[in-house]
Structure 1
Amino acid sequence: MAKEPRPAAELSIWEDAQQMIEKARRDGVETVWDRFEQQTPSCKFCELGLTCKNCNMGPCRISFKEDGKMKRGVCGADGDVIVARNFGRFVAGGSAGHSDHGRDLIEVLEAIVEGEAPDYSIADEAKLLRVSAERGIAVEKREVMDVARDLVESCFSDFGSRRKELGFIGRVPEVRKEIWRKLKVMPRGVDREIAEMMHRTHMGCDNDAISTMLHSARTALADGWGGSMIGTELSDIIFGVPKPVKSTVSLGVLKEKEVNILVHGHNPVVSEMVLAAAGSPEMLELARQAGAEGINIGGLCCTGNELLGRQGIPMAGNHLMTELAIVTGAVEAVVVDYQCIMPSMVQAAACYHTKFITTADKARFTGATHISFNPATAGAQAREIVEMAIEAYGRRDQSRVEIPGKPVDIVAGFSNEALLEMLGGSLEPLLDAIKDGSIRGVVAIVGCNNPKFQHDSQNVGLAKELLKRDILVLVTGCVTTAAGKAGLLVPEGIELAGPGLKKICSALNIPPVLHFGSCVDNSRVIQLCGLIADALGVDICDLPVWGASPEWYSEKAVAIGVYCVASGIPVQLGTPPQITGSKLVTDLALTGLEDVFGASFMVEPDFMKAVEIMDARISQKRLALGLSA
């Protein structure tokens, strides 16, 4: 017998989501919550991480015998080894995703330098010169393009096998670097560490769980301080450094009388061009001829965050809202690049007039319209995409349009550069606020949504409770939409903050929660921690800081968590990764890493309990620094 669907109010805390869940049911559109119910209960062996498909003598699944001893796979691997192998490959997958994003940005910069990308340019020459000099490239009395050419080569070398240390390792406090060298986890090259992880986890290679876990840390560090950091820095150079900008969020940002185009994925290379094309007089005239009053570009997930921070485009939703945006019946086109894009969106789009357009050859979707995006022809291809959306507007069935709610105001677009400018060019005002207790600590809430939780309940609940305790919150990725809809991304949100944080935010006229970009931009967070640690003359693990991903789901989120912990930042997760079948690996993640890196993971699905643990550690770290708790 089919299960009775759960009330929409149990699935999401947001009225716009609840309204669209109900509409999806009326329209016969299957959503992520429907499929989650179909997959419940999940395989216990898989949940524990005790399955192995790494060779054809299996697949194997490991359980305990009656005497309490663990069985072994056909090759003889025990549960500890199998769990560590699976975790290592999970981290490698996440590291590959964000780092390959970084490589794409290098290729675009190279095309600009070679004159093969006429529609792109270098938006921030000052940052280009600053980053180049930091990486040891001569910049004095040189042409910008010559410097850029050298930066391309320097960044590409971070992906290879010949470096002993990555180009941005100079941003890491010296004491932290010594820990990495001692443990032999200093990242050498992005592709090298990922390839070595795949080699180590082949049958007959690394059969020591702790050894495999340490290389997981090395792989993640290559992402955080390498591939992801390159992605962030080159995006800033090509498209501009984010600065505070006013915008709006919610499904209410869709326009009933305009051509609505949603950009989705992670890489701004495509979406920046689509935005530019949509604003051209030629495309606006075509839209008017089709009966529309204009063209509205909205964002989903991290591509939305990229354009939000730099261009101020509105955000329609986060991960669990992506299908629901289509269900409004008001979306002419969803233009995607890669990562966090549900294949089900193709089927959802087919239920309406919506064009689902893919642009990355590494992210093809069966049933989608594919345009192989090329920097050399980006402008023309973007105009082709916008024309498709305009054509779709003529096929919109207005009787099926239902746009829920109204846009919610937000202020977004913070970056380390914007923060320093706001502070007068120095970290001292921030350090003073931390020292006097106005800001007791800083927590970065990262990423995702997961249907295992009521949508955004943990993200918003955690943020609100932290603010009450004078803890500044930074958000990246999908948490941005949640914080915005909750009223935390406007200066008026300080009414939810404690007295110290309220005083600081009021003086600077900033929200109590700062939007720090997309998920790849967590590299900004670890860089900021490095700057603060250096300024205080301590290691990152000595700071009153946390990372958190209460509703995480992806391999990338685990890679982020591992590079944060390996950098000395403890991380809260709402659910455990698939490691609990091994007591050795679980104990290492929850407590053992504290002795290795000075930080570890905390798994706690209840945000109230999580806040208590985070607050206690922040007090402990403050006291150790000679500050008030």
Structure 2
Amino acid sequence: MKNKKFENRKKTIEELYNSLKDEVLTAPKRVIKRGVTPCLFGKGGTCCRICNMGPCQVVEGVEDLKGICGASSATVTARNFARMVVGGASAHSDHGRDIALAFYETVHGDSQFEVRDKRKLRVIAHALGIDPSLSEKDILYKIAEIALECFGQMEGELAFGHRAPQPLQEKWRKYGVFPRGVDKEIVELLHRTSTGIDQDYKKILLAAARCSLADGWGGSMIASELQDFLLGNPQPIKAKVNIGLSVIKPDMINVAVHGHDPLLADALSIAASDPEIIAEAQKVGAKGINLAGVCCTGNEVLMRKGIPVAGSFLQQEVVIATGAIEVIVVDIQCIMQNIVEIAKNFHTEVITTNDRAMLEGATHIPFDHKKPLDSAKEILKRAIARYPLRDPNKVRIPDNTIDVIAGFSTEAIMYMLGGRFRASFKPLNENVINGKILGVAAIVGCDNYRVDESLQVEIAKELIANNVLVLTTGCSAIAMGVAGLLSPEAIELAGPGLREVLEAIGAPPVLHMGSCVDNSRILIATTEIVHTGGLGDDIYQLPAVGAAPEWMSEKAISIGMYFVSSGVQVVFGPDFPTEKSKEVTDFLFYEIENYFGGSWRIARNANEFVNIMMDRINQQRIKLGIDKPKPRILYDMAMRRALEEPKYITPFHGLGCFGWRLKTEKLDKAA
């Protein structure tokens, strides 16, 4: 299964790259030209360039090779690592701020958007400390107000941080890392790591932890939750992925949406169905408008509307090289400047839509949150005008698409496990306790031209074969989809215990949970698993682990840090940005576990990843005392009478589908 799918994919990509002229430089060609070994000082974190006396290449333990100011290897490496965290946190959080502004405008009637999905309105109200007995309109106003305040607040504690398990919150308070306001943590960390400020590497790394938490439990979580209100809470949906005829259609006007802003892509999907736009498309000989996703914008529209995804970050050049894309619309993050050069070889127009993300040589059409359909129609009309310019001799669309099931939001998983009125992680917890499922692993993050693209897939296959349920987001999710792991048929690859559970609920062994900001869904899921009971009282106790095998972006570092600071062990590869400083690496890999229960690890290949991840899961099972099969207990009538009837009184700690769960603490204790 794996070999055939990946060989077909590799062959397709190679053929499309080969169709370009030799003088056209692509990302893979640049990797070859630059050589296989990057600068070891920069790669290992010991190059300091924050002032004009440097850059200083620092060697650990060598007095003469400290920075000119005397900065040690640990100080330099901690600063560089922290600045990667702050870069990633700022990207996710600026995205979250845009969503919060759009949400505020929408609930105040100042936008063409609407609040489409209110099913978890009172759950979010409860999480933010809003009186759930208020009217629906008043709750929406207060959510909009608090969401915006989270960015600018100067003191106190970030509201969504109170969703974390109580023992974890106490650790954050004890070590001074409970985030205050999103912007405050980002600005303070940048200041702290400037010339001549904080030079205690442990203090710098703890400040980086606080900044990352402001991302995971702040900016990213705000983005995910408010996007669910505006666009709908994702539910399992069947769709297609990969570059192929079912994704890119030769008889339609093809518009690729690339980046991370789902509001733009949603508006384009609505406008594409407008009779006026369809009529305009038919006038130039096309049947209509076809949207194809790329990267995380693709994930967002895939899991909500079933719009197919052509590729991940790695495939953005190749999508254009099909010769059948009229317009590629980009918003923010992970956009290669080189796509403009690739587009020059075809009729494709590159359109930027966000003032933060401009490309020289592209057309800029600002996306107006207040009038999204107007912006979308203007873009689609430009795409229609490009269609007659398409050169049929340059069109190369392979027939190589894969069926997937995507859209497993936290609520959707709980619904599948427990049904409408008993939505809960309880069946999952029970099957982890009884050993049918050994644990849960998240494989997330980017893909990288310097890494074999099958690495993530090989790790996932080994984990599910060992009865580990896999969650995935971002570009990793697209790779899983292309490999066939997001389809129910992949259940054949699962171990017998995991397979039994998946067959009962009808789910694939790898669950697509969304884009990179949606890693916050995994935080909520792990919290809800803790609150469900039976697996400890804090996230670090869970038989759970995370991995980013092909990380590329600063955002991945921020994501990894907020998971570590929330109690999860996270494995990165094939390298790590602090490797040239033993002190910093030892702190992040070992000492930090004494603070939060989570830690970093590094792996170079699939076997190393799987061994580290399985070791963590098995260690946590031993600590919980669930590493051995439990004897079955047959209840007599006296034991049954001792069980109290459950009562519908407990609000969900997390995000339950309807906001209330059965109170079963005494029943659970007796069982």
Specify the TM-score bucket, using the shorter chain as the normaliser: over 0.9
> 1:336 is matched with which residue: 327, 330, 333?
330
Query: Counterpart of 2:178?
Result: 186
Query: Counterpart of 1:5?
Result: none
The secondary structure found in structure 2 opposite 1:478 is helix
Is the contact between residue 99 and residue 227 of structure 1 (CA under 8 Å) also seen in structure 2?
yes
Query: Counterpart of 1:497?
Result: 494
> 1:22 is matched with which residue: 18, 23, 32?
18
Is the contact between residue 60 and residue 581 of structure 2 (CA under 8 Å) also seen in structure 1?
no
Query: Counterpart of 2:638?
Result: none
Please list, as runs of the form range in 1=range in 2, the aligned pairs for 1:305-320 lying within 5 A after superposition. 305-320=299-314
In the alignment, structure 1 residue 31 sits paired with structure 2 residue 19: no
Is the contact between residue 16 and residue 405 of structure 1 (CA under 8 Å) also seen in structure 2?
no
1:134 Cα deviation after fit: 2.2
Is the contact between residue 193 and residue 218 of structure 1 (CA under 8 Å) also seen in structure 2?
yes
Query: Counterpart of 1:77?
Result: 71
Please list, as runs of the form range in 1=range in 2, the aligned pairs for 1:446-485 lying within 5 A after superposition. 446-454=444-452, 456-485=453-482
Residue 290 of structure 2 aligns to which amino acid in structure 1? N
Query: Counterpart of 1:120?
Result: 113
CA distance in 2, matches of 1:374, 1:384: 11
| Alpha-carbon distance change, 10 to 626 in structure 1, aligned in 2, over 3 angstroms | closer
Query: Counterpart of 1:237?
Result: 229
CA distance in 2, matches of 1:86, 1:531: 34
CA distance in 2, matches of 1:450, 1:530: 30
Query: Counterpart of 2:657?
Result: none
> 1:224 is matched with which residue: 199, 216, 222?
216
Is the contact between residue 224 and residue 518 of structure 2 (CA under 8 Å) also seen in structure 1?
yes
In the alignment, structure 1 residue 166 sits paired with structure 2 residue 164: no
CA distance in 1, matches of 2:8, 2:583: 36
1:342 Cα deviation after fit: 0.7
CA distance in 2, matches of 1:473, 1:306: 19
Is the contact between residue 309 and residue 413 of structure 1 (CA under 8 Å) also seen in structure 2?
yes
CA distance in 1, matches of 2:594, 2:370: 50
CA distance in 2, matches of 1:390, 1:188: 48
CA distance in 2, matches of 1:12, 1:368: 32
Please list, as runs of the form range in 1=range in 2, the aligned pairs for 1:147-166 lying within 5 A after superposition. 147-166=139-158
Q: What do the CA deviations read for 1:365-402 (whole angstroms, capped 9, x no partner)?
A: 11111011111221111001011111111100010000
Q: What do the CA deviations read for 1:582-621 (whole angstroms, capped 9, x no partner)?
A: 1101111222222222121111021112101211221111
| Alpha-carbon distance change, 324 to 466 in structure 1, aligned in 2, over 3 angstroms | same
Is the contact between residue 94 and residue 554 of structure 1 (CA under 8 Å) also seen in structure 2?
yes
Query: Counterpart of 2:634?
Result: none
Query: Counterpart of 1:48?
Result: 44
1:347 Cα deviation after fit: 1.0
The secondary structure found in structure 2 opposite 1:187 is coil
Deviates more, 1:164-173 or 1:89-98: 164-173
Q: What do the CA deviations read for 1:42-92 (whole angstroms, capped 9, x no partner)?
A: 222212212222122223222368xx5462212221111111111111100
Residue 619 of structure 1 aligns to which amino acid in structure 2? N
Query: Counterpart of 1:623?
Result: 622
Residue 77 of structure 1 aligns to which amino acid in structure 2? A
Is the contact between residue 460 and residue 482 of structure 1 (CA under 8 Å) also seen in structure 2?
yes
1:233 Cα deviation after fit: 0.2
1:526 Cα deviation after fit: 0.9
CA distance in 2, matches of 1:544, 1:321: 34
Residue 565 of structure 1 aligns to which amino acid in structure 2? V
Q: What do the CA deviations read for 1:115-157 (whole angstroms, capped 9, x no partner)?
A: 221x20001123233312321123425242x322211211112
Is the contact between residue 8 and residue 400 of structure 2 (CA under 8 Å) also seen in structure 1?
no
Query: Counterpart of 1:6?
Result: none
Q: Which runs of 4+ in 1 moved over 4 A?
A: 9-13
CA distance in 2, matches of 1:76, 1:161: 36
Please list, as runs of the form range in 1=range in 2, the aligned pairs for 1:95-110 lying within 5 A after superposition. 95-110=89-104
Please list, as runs of the form range in 1=range in 2, the aligned pairs for 1:35-434 lying within 5 A after superposition. 35-40=30-35, 41-63=37-59, 68-69=62-63, 71-117=65-111, 119-144=112-137, 146-252=138-244, 253-424=247-418, 425-434=423-432
Residue 193 of structure 2 aligns to which amino acid in structure 1? T
Query: Counterpart of 1:556?
Result: 555
| Alpha-carbon distance change, 185 to 64 in structure 1, aligned in 2, over 3 angstroms | closer
CA distance in 1, matches of 2:213, 2:572: 19
Deviates more, 1:32-41 or 1:615-624: 32-41
The secondary structure found in structure 2 opposite 1:376 is coil
Residue 506 of structure 1 aligns to which amino acid in structure 2? E
CA distance in 2, matches of 1:80, 1:134: 39
The secondary structure found in structure 2 opposite 1:352 is coil
Query: Counterpart of 2:647?
Result: none
The secondary structure found in structure 2 opposite 1:140 is coil
CA distance in 2, matches of 1:546, 1:256: 43
1:27 Cα deviation after fit: 6.3
The secondary structure found in structure 1 opposite 2:586 is helix
Q: How many percent identity over aligned positions?
A: 44
1:21 Cα deviation after fit: 2.4
CA distance in 2, matches of 1:136, 1:562: 27
Is the contact between residue 70 and residue 78 of structure 1 (CA under 8 Å) also seen in structure 2?
no
TM-score of the aligned structures, taking structure 2 as reference length: 0.89
Residue 42 of structure 1 aligns to which amino acid in structure 2? P
TM-score of the aligned structures, taking structure 1 as reference length: 0.95
Is the contact between residue 11 and residue 18 of structure 1 (CA under 8 Å) also seen in structure 2?
no
Q: What do the CA deviations read for 1:3-23 (whole angstroms, capped 9, x no partner)?
A: xxxxxx999963322222222
Say how many residue pairs are matched: 615
CA distance in 1, matches of 2:458, 2:537: 31
Query: Counterpart of 2:530?
Result: 533
Deviates more, 1:42-51 or 1:518-527: 42-51
The secondary structure found in structure 2 opposite 1:14 is helix
- Which consecutive unaligned segments of at least 5 residues does structure 2 have? 629-671
The secondary structure found in structure 2 opposite 1:297 is strand
